[in-house]
Chain A
């Protein structure tokens, strides 16, 4: 999850052109009256006719994102997963853990169980649909929590610097030196596995990455003149952090967050695979876990939920790449 090169995003958001051919409107008052230079007060008013050219940063980024087929595929697939997660209780109102048919039905063998049944006669399709709910819930919630805490810590450390930074960096380092998956297992084992504790535990091990990234961004941006200007105008710390710096630090954080969701889904699956998931709900990881002993005879029991994980994680990574290209001013320049 730390594969994002934060250096790519720094600064330059104002899209400085490599050669400043600017699409400016001529200052109309300047033309043709033959007056002396000093009598003319024509502001170099580029914006006089630029309404058509005026595309905000956000809209340009969206345009780039939407013109990227991989990102579109990722978004489409993720939307599909979200849709089935929402629709699962409608399509399969019964508990997916209940035994509904003959065990070991292969996919296609019985039309009422399109993806077959497992060793206890549970419907695999119902499991995958319901499993998407837990995967997405854990992925999104853990990311939201990790993001909030990481941004808070990172921005505080990066903005204030000095001893505050020293302390917070030590804290980040403590978490980063511990092998994160081991920590995750320990945390979940101590606090009874449930969807909530798993989410919390994943958030605990994922915030340091965000904090580091945010800190680096803040350190770079706080040196910019517009932040110095804000200080010179007497702005308070909160205003400078949240209004001036944070919006400029967001692009790499947004990119990271999509990959964080993917990582959280993987970690939840890994925990469930090891039997450390919430025992009362079905998840993709737990389905693989129960199917692993039968991988030679009934490989579809591991392969199908495995594919669901692979595609969802892939979709999130594609979205991450797409966001990276779209929000990175160096690539978004379509000249």
Chain B
């Protein structure tokens, strides 16, 4: 599969912090890449950087975001506007606040079509109905004239998706698309996203904190901690054999993985402490919370190594055997 988006050494800098540091990843056409992390991991800022929607105070001092031969990190506002919505689209966590409350959903969809496809009037409306049908909203001819508050949370997220895919983008960035939704609705929305991905042949960057979602919907997983990539793997590998102490801790701390484990049987395993800013830290950002930490972890930020095919991990003390430097990995 051809590479669609390549992020290379991306750093996001604020006046007093660097919430994302030297992040690299790659997405092939039509692929779903999950970026997992907790709040403070920098995953949402990464998503905003791809869209050039970072807050004003943020800068990208180094790194490239290559999409269709262009570096998005250095692209002008005008060209970026041209790309947004048409080639790269985004959906957000909170479907209530990301829709305009005083406009019918039909008009909001038509708006995108007007901007990018020069459609208007009847044609835009018909296409809007078509899109509502595409995202499986029942009775789209009626719903098209509804206002956002008349829809349920799940329906609103479907509308957001309809707007996002209106121009058949090549890349869809979904930032916690189901976090605000109930589990039964979450399953529906994720199903829909996956179906659309196949039908429209778009790649999806799925940003989430939910390991279960990752396991079932991603082709490839990047685990972020305190602004850095700490592990990358195929979902099966990640869940069967997590390598980074953080990933291991997360999987162990999560009650859902122990289906026959009850509080009367014992305590959950904890990761102590909470996420620590990468600013001013030398060495491994996870060191203060790590149960494997040694004195050498304080010296340098661990390099990404390739412990096995299709895997990267930023810890030299994983139990795995083979450790190839990252540079060698890039060449294969």
A36, B291: Cβ atoms under 8 Å? yes
- Point out the residue from A20, A29, A30, A45 that lies within 8 Å of B290, measured CB to CB: A30
A37, B274: Cβ atoms under 8 Å? no
Could you tell me how many residues of chain B have their Cβ less than 8 Å away from some Cβ of chain A? 40
- Partner-contacting stretch, out of B12-20, B84-92, B115-123, B136-144: B12-20
- A170 adjacent to chain B (CB < 8 Å): no
In the assembled complex, how far is the CB of residue A212 from the closest CB belonging to chain B, in whole angstroms?
24
Give A29's nearest chain B residue, CB to CB: B272
- A237 adjacent to chain B (CB < 8 Å): no
B40, A37: Cβ atoms under 8 Å? no
- Point out the residue from B40, B44, B55, B292 that lies within 8 Å of A22, measured CB to CB: B40
Interface of A: prevailing SS:
loop
Residues of B contacting A46 with CB < 8 Å? 274
A22, B275: Cβ atoms under 8 Å? yes
A18, B55: Cβ atoms under 8 Å? yes
- A174 adjacent to chain B (CB < 8 Å): no
B19, A21: Cβ atoms under 8 Å? yes
Residues of B contacting A335 with CB < 8 Å? 14-17, 57
Q: How far is the CA of A25 from the CA of B276 in the complex (A)?
A: 7
Residues of A contacting B273 with CB < 8 Å? 24, 26-27, 30, 42, 44-45
Q: State which residues 10-62 of A face B: CB under 8 Å.
A: 18-32, 34-38, 40-42, 44-46
- B180 adjacent to chain A (CB < 8 Å): no
Q: How far is the CA of A42 from the CA of B274 in the complex (A)?
A: 10
CB contact under 8 A between A21 and B17, given known A31-B288, A35-B291, A37-B291: yes
In the assembled complex, how far is the CB of residue A150 from the closest CB belonging to chain B, in whole angstroms?
31
Q: How far is the CA of A41 from the CA of B271 in the complex (A)?
A: 9
Binary B-proximity of A239-269 (CB < 8 A = 1, otherwise 0): 0000000000000000000000000000000
Inter-chain residue pair count (beta carbon < 8 A): 94
Give A18's nearest chain B residue, CB to CB: B55
Give B268's nearest chain A residue, CB to CB: A38
Q: State which residues 29-51 of B face A: CB under 8 Å.
A: 39-40, 42, 44-45
Give A24's nearest chain B residue, CB to CB: B276
B45, A19: Cβ atoms under 8 Å? yes
Residues of A contacting B40 with CB < 8 Å? 19-22
A26, B270: Cβ atoms under 8 Å? no
Residues of A contacting B278 with CB < 8 Å? 21
In the assembled complex, how far is the CB of residue B60 from the closest CB belonging to chain A, in whole angstroms?
15
Residues of B contacting A26 with CB < 8 Å? 273, 276, 287-289
Q: Which of B45, B270, B273, B288 has the most CB of A within 10 A?
A: B273
Residues of B contacting A28 with CB < 8 Å? 288
Residues of A contacting B16 with CB < 8 Å? 335
- Point out the residue from B19, B270, B292, B293 that lies within 8 Å of A38, measured CB to CB: B270
Binary A-proximity of B261-296 (CB < 8 A = 1, otherwise 0): 000001111111111111100000001111111110
Q: How far is the CA of A28 from the CA of B16 in the complex (A)?
A: 24
Residues of A contacting B294 with CB < 8 Å? 32, 34
A21, B279: Cβ atoms under 8 Å? yes
- Point out the residue from A19, A21, A23, A30 that lies within 8 Å of B272, measured CB to CB: A30
A23, B277: Cβ atoms under 8 Å? yes
Q: State which residues 1-33 of B face A: CB under 8 Å.
A: 14-17, 19
A31, B277: Cβ atoms under 8 Å? no
Q: How far is the CA of A31 from the CA of B267 in the complex (A)?
A: 21
In the assembled complex, how far is the CB of residue A319 from the closest CB belonging to chain B, in whole angstroms?
27
A37, B269: Cβ atoms under 8 Å? yes
A-B contact pairs, 30 of them (CB 8 A): A19-B44, A19-B45, A20-B40, A20-B275, A21-B17, A21-B227, A22-B40, A24-B273, A26-B287, A26-B288, A27-B272, A28-B288, A29-B272, A30-B272, A30-B293, A31-B287, A31-B288, A31-B290, A32-B293, A32-B295, A36-B291, A37-B253, A37-B291, A38-B267, A38-B268, A38-B270, A41-B270, A42-B272, A44-B274, A335-B17
Contacts A34-B293, A37-B272, A46-B274 known; list 6 others, CB within 8 Å. A21-B17, A22-B276, A30-B293, A32-B293, A37-B270, A44-B273
- In the A-B complex, list the 3 residue pairs whose CB atoms are closest, starting with the nearest: A26-B288, A44-B274, A42-B272
